[in-house]
Amino acid sequence: MTIREVLLSVDGVEATYNHAIRALSGVNLTVRTGEIVALLGANGAGKTTALKALCGLLAAERGQITAGRIRYDGEDIAQRSPAELVRAGLVQVLEGRHCFRSLSVEDNLIVGGQARGWSRAALRRELERVYTLFPRLRDRRGSLAGLTSGGEQQMTAIGRALMARPRLLVLDEPSMGLAPLVVESIFAALTALNRDEGLTLLVAEQNSTVALRHAHRAAVLENGRTVLDGAADALRDRDDIKAFYLGVGLGAAA
């Protein structure tokens, strides 16, 4: 996959909640078209806040961007609504596998396609694309999403985002609470989308071992600020960095 122009840039972003609690104090991040970028950091480092800031979701949590600039596809997006950003191709999968629990898996996916107003034929084609990527969802398409496994719910949440045909897919902790094999299959699907379709990905993860295995580059947050930014393979080999910033024990870092 060829990596091209800068699709997203976050420069010196600071943010607070309730105009009082400082959550971000200098986040810098660049995502180029065709890249997989991992956003790493320990619990509470500011990953979720950073993703919400760039997806237009901070205001809904009484959060404010107080400094810095966020540009997507060459435009300042700090004031854009999440719906506008989805139409522009910036689509997020929030932490915690947000599915409509009382809708079927397939209806969840269809809801994701509504942002694009697909025709019937196009909708069918997009559903097929998701089912090819996640065959388990084809088997479970008639089941209520709330009654499927954690992994299937995460796949449904990702599938729903894919139905909007993102240019940049932003994911918050896709591995959370899932068994290692399920995590591996989700990351394998995301990597295949990146490789085969050039989908650009920004993935926040506490599971730095998995994220660094799949990402091209990574940024590390500590106390709301970017402290490291570099090639994923360089960070992967630095056990000292992982132990210091990511809380990965030296013995478990391999």
CB of 160 to ligand ATP, least distance (A): 21
Q: Which is nearer to ligand ATP, 61 or 139 (CB)?
A: 61
Contacts of 189 (CB under 8 A, 6+ apart): 133, 134, 155, 158
* CA neighbours closer than 13 Å in the CB half-sphere of residue 110: 12
Q: Which stretch binds ligand ATP (CB under 6 A): 43-51, 76-84, 148-156, 226-234?
A: 43-51
The residue within the footprint of ligand ATP, chosen from 8, 31, 49, 90 (CB under 6 A), is: 49
Find the binder of ligand ATP among 2, 5, 43, 74 (CB under 6 A): 43
Indicate the residue type of 176.
M
Q: Which stretch, 39-47, 74-82, 131-139, 141-149, contacts ligand ATP (CB under 6 A)?
A: 39-47
In the window 15-34, what residues touch ligand ATP (CB under 6 A)? Answer: 17, 21, 23
> What would the DSSP string read from start to end of 213-235?
HH-SEEEEEETTEEEEEEEHHHH
Considering beta carbons, is residue 7 or 15 the nearer one to ligand ATP?
Answer: 15
Structure tokens belonging to residue 217? 């580059």
Helix/strand/coil (H/E/C) assignment for every residue in 129-193: HHHHHCHHHHHCCCCEHHHCCHHHHHHHHHHHHHCCCCCEEEEECCCCCCCHHHHHHHHHHHHHH
Q: Is 222 in the site for ligand ATP (CB under 6 A)?
A: no
To the nearest whole angstrom, how small is the minimum distance from the Cβ of residue 17 to ligand ATP? 3
Residues forming the site for ligand ATP (CB under 6 A): 17, 21, 23, 41, 43-49, 61, 206
